[in-house]
Amino acid sequence: MMYWLKIAFKNLINRPLSTLLTVLLLALGIGISSFLLIIDKQLNENFTKNLAGVDLILGAKGSPLQTVLCNLYHIDAPTGNIEIIKAKAFLNPNHPLVASSVPLLLGDSYNTFRIVGTTYNFLDFYKASVNEGNIWKKPFDAVVGYQVAVKQNLVVGSKFKSSHGLLPCEDKHDNDFTVTGILKKSGSVIDQLVLTSTQSVWYSHHHENESENTPEAPNHRETESGMEMIDSTGLELLKHEERSITSILLRFKNRNFQTLNLARNINDNTDIQASNPAIELNRLYDTMGIGEKILRYLVFLLLMVGGVSIFIALVQALKDRKYELAIMRVMGSSSLQLALLTLLESLLICFCGFLLGLVIAHCGVWLFGSYASEKYKYTFEAWHLIKEEGILSLLVAVIGIISGVFPAISAYRTDISKTLTQS
């Protein structure tokens, strides 16, 4: 067997250009399918992870999809703020339908990484934990996600200034944040966030409002200079019912008609908008699904072309080598041996194409991942093999056999005497 593998290999590299073309075509098909499979799988995993079991998002009126993208995936801009007093029932842990809730206050950033003012519940929602240091305890304490720490070289004790809005060039606030903790790597969007108390965000804005002499200002200066308290739970947040937050993420105890009615009620009768992330995301998938379908057909086409190119390459090679095959028969080779040798060449091309395809796919995921993590706050794991690739390898073997079997039959049927007299 090893001997025949060697012969097949030598036959292939004896016509390097044709072999290279065939391998490349096949690798392209396999590479793109594998790439799509990996991205699709990790996208789904990521989406589910980032969904964090949230059943409903309460935010200002606007596009529900935007609310979801902004508050769960941290891609889009917020739709606006809501006053705590209007949503106060949902921050109360005794709400009959709500299992848990977490408020979010968005709008500031540190070098494109979003700053999220929230409560300790946020960590439970994402099953996150502090890896180094401690959780925030005072205003302007911050706990940063794994990627934020890595990309901005932050350690416990580092200081940084936040800026208003989501771009680094916008106005910087005066206050210094202090990093008190760094989160464990999770693979979800939380890796790319800076977490702090709602107070930190309120106070950074409050400093700017000071000159405008808003009525609230004196009151809060006192709080700030005095006890330096922060709200670590939703219940504590209720003390500041005149303040605003961006949204509240809700998990229900049970999903039933009551919770459906609740969402409808909020939307129909209040200034708040309730968005169901599962519904919004399904709508988004449906829209993007067409593109994915087209890509799948394209991949199928590429694989077919790869198969046909193996077929053509082998038929051409056998034509060039028919005298060789006849001579091998004369030297004692059986028809079956020649057929198997031809099939082996086809499978060898497929194997090389498959390996190269995997390399292309995983390098592609790596490149795409480094782009996506900046642009969409997504992290992709590039160097893990997935089980779908095992299935792909079987598919490739089938392609190899199908495109090799007809040339193999023609090799099997070599008529020695006729071939030799035709020289």
Partner 1 sequence: MIKTRNLQFRYDSTKQWSFPDIHLEKGQSLLISGYSGSGKTTFMHLLAGILQPKFGSVSINSTEIYKLNQRDLDKFRGQNIGIIFQTPHFVRSLNVTENLQLAQKLSGNIIDGLRIKNILARLQLTAVSQAMTYTLSVGEQQRLSIARALINQPTILLADEPTSSLDDHRCSEVIALLKQLCLLEESTLVVISHDSRLKPHFPNQIEIKS
Q: In the 8-state DSSP scheme, what is residue 74?
A: -
Element (H, E) at 99: strand 98-110
- Report the candidate in 86, 127, 118 with the shortest Cα–Cα distance to residue 274: 86
Q: Closer to partner 1 at the Cβ: 66 or 337?
A: 337
Q: Closer to partner 1 at the Cβ: 11 or 147?
A: 11
Residues 187-216, interacting with partner 1 (CB under 8 A) = none
Outline where 82-130 has alpha helix (H). 88-91, 121-125
Site for partner 1 contains 333 (CB under 8 A): yes
Rounded Cα distance, 73 and 375, in Å: 12
Distance in Å, CB of 323 to partner 1, minimum: 5
Q: Which of 227, 290, 331, 394 binds partner 1 (CB under 8 A)?
A: 331
Site for partner 1 contains 2 (CB under 8 A): no
If you write DSSP's letter for every residue of 339-384 in order, what string do you get? HHHHHHHHHHHHHHHHHHHHHHHHHHHHHHHHHHHHHSS-----S-
Distance in Å, CB of 23 to partner 1, minimum: 17
Site for partner 1 contains 416 (CB under 8 A): yes
Q: Which of 251, 329, 362, 377 binds partner 1 (CB under 8 A)?
A: 329
Q: Which two tokens stand for residue 391?
A: 């299935």
Q: In the 8-state DSSP scheme, what is residue 181?
A: E
Site for partner 1 contains 330 (CB under 8 A): yes
Q: Which of 134, 334, 370, 422 binds partner 1 (CB under 8 A)?
A: 334
SS3 content of the chain, % helix, strand, coil (to 5): 60, 15, 25
Q: Which two tokens stand for residue 300?
A: 């199928």
Question: Strands 113-118 and 193-197, how do they pair?
Answer: parallel
Site for partner 1 contains 11 (CB under 8 A): yes
Site for partner 1 contains 327 (CB under 8 A): yes
Contact map string, positions 307 to 326, toward partner 1, x by CB under 8 A? --------------x-xx--
Site for partner 1 contains 401 (CB under 8 A): no
Q: Which of 27, 143, 328, 348 binds partner 1 (CB under 8 A)?
A: 328
Rounded Cα distance, 120 and 55, in Å: 19
Residues in contact with partner 1 by CB under 8 A are: 3, 7, 10-11, 13-14, 321, 323-324, 327-337, 416-417, 420-421, 423
